[in-house]
Amino acid sequence: MRLTDLNSASDIGANCLLAEIGPFRFLIDAGMHPKKTGSDALPRLNRLPPLDFVILTHCHLDHLGAIPVVLRKQPDVEILCSPASAIIAKRILRNSVSVMTRQRDEAGIKAYPLFTYSELDPVETALRPLPLLAPRTLRAPNGEEITITLYPAGHVAGAVGCLFEYKHRKIIFTGDVLFQDQETVPAAQFPAGQLDTLVMETTHGASPPQEDVTRASETVRLLETINQTITHGGSVLIPAFAFGRMQEILTILNNARRTKALAASPVYCSGLGVDLADYLDMMSRKAGFVNFRRQVLQELKVKPLSQRFVAPGHDLPEKGIYVLSSGMLVENTPAWRIAANLLDHARNALCFVGYCDPDTAGGRLLARKRGDTFSFTGLDHIAHVKAHIERFYFSGHATRGELLAFARQSEPRAIVLTHGDPPARAWFEEELAIEIPSAKITNPVPGTVYQI
Ligand SMILES: [Zn+2]
Ligand SMILES: [Zn+2]
């Protein structure tokens, strides 16, 4: 296999791998870099060879966000994905166009939007959902064949890893993977046994193993904090990523309410995550490997967020649990506005349930201690941090120990490291060299062609 990383840097960025196996040329994902702006956020798509197909592993923007640009260049290419991803891809891209359009207007980023609403219909037409765990064989004009099987990857609804079989060689791309069950998505089910090549994510390579931290233990801890806060007359803000995490948190709250493990309190929700609840419901009913029912919102009696603006610094008159889209607490979102009401009051709590980049408002807030100040730009408010701020670990990615174990059991001849910051990749490079000394390990330099 020849492999070229088209991401602009060796990080978790605009995920896009160009793979050439025999006569077959294809991309694994075409994402948009979450920390770059304008056309710098795109992978290097300038000199793409003619593609036979594109594999979309899942619908996070760092994997999906540049697909419309690929289709603009090669309108006839087919996008192979899970049935669940085919349901939600266009909706996520539509949100991306509206976010980019807002950024153009507010921050003057002239290159935005990188594609338009009208370019999303061709994406929908190009999507080819493949049933999971069902091999599909493609034939090249010269008669050679490649067999593709999508495997459930956990991580987020619709996520898959992809196995290619070519001339008795097995090559797997893990995509983003989670080997533990979530409330709404079952754990990855990857093939057992020997593989020729393993192309793996390395997200948590630099994170120390947290053996005692599980989803179950974090759920208990989260419910304890919520219950304590509600019992003492406070409100709780849970900023949550709209796709996946928000529905997971709502399911956790609903399960707790059913078993009377949640203190009585109204639940408020707003943003994209409420809309996406309908999509996850549809993925659940029509695609499989997703367990979410829209019913959860009704059972929890979820209320929309009041549009009546409470001045920043003043506590909310409506006490409750606020589950709001915007995992990293992006400025000028409803979550940002509610945080500006809660932060100055000791009875309240802010619970972060996902990764927050240190450069984001959420990341900066997590670094604050009680008594520090925190500036709400745009709201003309400087808060004195008195509320309880806590981080909970509901990661969508495998621990480094789990990934090592998967690598060990597959005894690959070659391993390629992707989707990780440099320290994360360095850890895997070192550990894999010890654990599987016979394997050839490649940490690809972007833009360089590797013969794997
Ligand atoms: Zn992802
Ligand atoms: Zn990713």
Tokens of 195: 């593989």
Which of 256, 268, 255, 265 is closest to 230 using CA atoms?
Answer: 265
Task: Decide if 2-208+396-451 and 215-391 have a common fold.
Answer: no
User: Is pLDDT above 70 for 218?
Assistant: yes
Q: Is residue 229's pLDDT more than 90?
A: yes
pLDDT tens for 119-142 read 999 999 999 999 999 999 999 999
Domain definitions of the chain by residue range:
2-208+396-451, 215-391
User: Ligand 2 centroid to 209 CA: how many Å?
Assistant: 20
β-sheet bridge partners, residue 166: 169
Could you read off the pLDDT of 410-438 as tens digits, one per residue? 999 999 999 999 999 999 999 999 999 99
Q: What is the mean pLDDT of residues 202-216?
A: 84
More confident residue, 359 or 4: 4
Q: Which pTM was predicted?
A: 0.96
**Closest ligand to Cα 243:** 1
Which listed ligand is nearest to 178 at the C-alpha? 1
The Cα–Cα gap between 270 and 323 comes to 7
Backbone angles phi, psi at 424, to 5 degrees: -65, -45
**In this model, does residue 295 exceed pLDDT 70?**
yes
Q: pLDDT tens-digit profile of 72-92?
A: 999 999 999 999 999 999 999
Average pLDDT over residues 42-52: 95
DSSP string for 257-290: HHTT-S-S--EEEESHHHHHHHHHHHHHHHTSS-
| Spacing, Cα 437 to ligand 1 middle (Å) | 29
What's the CA-to-centroid distance between 133 and ligand 2, angstroms? 22
Cα of 431 vs centre of ligand 2, distance in Å, is: 22
CATH topology of domain 215-391: Rossmann fold (3.40.50)
Ligand that lies nearest to the alpha carbon of residue 203, given by its number in the listed order: 2
Quickly name the fold that domain 2-208+396-451 has: Metallo-beta-lactamase; Chain A (3.60.15)
